[in-house]
Structures are given as structure tokens and as C-alpha cells.
Amino acid sequence: MSLREQLKKEISELVAIDEREAESKLLTLAFLNETNELFDESVVEHHITASAFVVSERGMILHLHRRLGIWVQPGGHIDQGELPAEAALRETLEETGLPVTLSTPVRIFHVDVHPGPRGHTHYDIRYILNSPPIDPTPPPEESQEVYWFAFREALERCEPSMRGAVSKLEAEMTLRALAD
């Protein structure tokens, strides 16, 4: 199965937490059906990005985006030849310094379509990553405002458009804790 077909399958199977995610699912599936170049921001103004909800027993990671001044999860653009899940891992390590692993089973957890810089549109594919409960150590060129938050604190701090995703993540983590 091609990457495009795999993304379409996983996104189709997502249960949307709210209207925003439901609309993002539809927009992302349409984008995957209509566009040849999915990832290269230098070629197209609309492209797939990848981000991560990093979790541990300390809660979840948020960082203060340097340019936008908002509290969000780590993530960014997908490099040439990279899979979205690999980009989520790389971007998280680059932005937080945390040694993370993909949550298993590896699957898309959430999608969101939002404006990016320079008039671009980001079709953000979001994964859950696990981290040891250690303090983040972002490199000097990244935001130094990277912290663990309990889910309720994250809901208060995060960019308002993320609240549905954070609620979905909290429910997922509660279910996992009950299963353990």
C-alpha cells in the first residue's frame, strides 16, 4: 500500500473528537485525493506536516512557539524521503531534546488543518509519542519554554484550537491507564 493510501486509510478510520477534527479529516482526505506533492513546502503552499503529543506519567509536553507565541505540541515539516511518523519523532527531539518513541500501535491519533507561515496551509498529522518523565533539554536555537503539563493545565495553557485534541489525548491516556 502506498503512503498516500495508508494515510487515507488511517485518517478515514479516525473518530473525530469535535467538529474541528471532523472538518480537518474531510479537508485532509480531499487534499490527499487531489494533490500530487504532499510534503514539499517549496513546491506547494498546502502540505502535510507532522506533530506529536508527547506523554509520560508527568502529563504532556507543550512548548511556546518562538514565532507564533502560542503553546503547542512539537512538530513541523516533513523532510524529503521521511515518513510523517519519522518527522514527528525528529521534530520532537529537535524541539525538546527528549528521547521519544512512537506509541504502539503506531497510528495517526489526530488531524488538524490550520494556516502556516507565508500563506501556507498545514494538514497536520498527529501522533502520540512516549517519553521518559525527564526534563526537556531543548537546544539553544529552539524555544526554551518547554514543559510538562498535567492534562487539565495543558487545556488551560494550549492554543484554543488544540483543546479538542488535548481532551481526546487525556481520554486516551485514561483508557490506557485503566487497561494496565
Residue 41 has pLDDT above 70, yes or no: no
More confidently predicted of 74 and 37? 74
Q: What is the Cα–Cα distance from 99 to 158, expressed in whole angstroms?
A: 22
pLDDT in tens, 67-91: 888 999 999 999 988 999 999 999 9
- Per domain, the residue ranges of the chain are 3-179
pLDDT, position 58: 96
Using one digit for the tens of pLDDT, what is the confidence trace for 93-129? 999 999 999 999 889 999 999 987 777 899 999 999 9
Q: Are the C-beta atoms of residues 91 and 51 closer than 8 Å to each other?
A: yes
Whether the pLDDT of residue 29 is over 90: the answer is: yes
Closest Cα partner for 109 from 180, 60, 36, 45?
A: 60
The model carries a pTM of: 0.93
**Domain 3-179 class?**
alpha beta
Tell me the DSSP string of 105-160: S----EEEEEE-GGG-EEEEEEEEEE--SPPP---TTS-S-EEEE-HHHHHHHS-G
Contact 100, 92 (CB under 8 A): yes
Please list, in sequence order, all residues whose beta carbon lies within 8 angstroms of the beta carbon of residue 115, skipping any fewer than 6 positions away.
Answer: 121, 122
Please report the pLDDT score of residue 162 as a whole number.
93
Instruction: For the chain, state the CA radius of gyration.
Output: 15
> Percentage of residues in the chain with pLDDT exceeding 90?
77
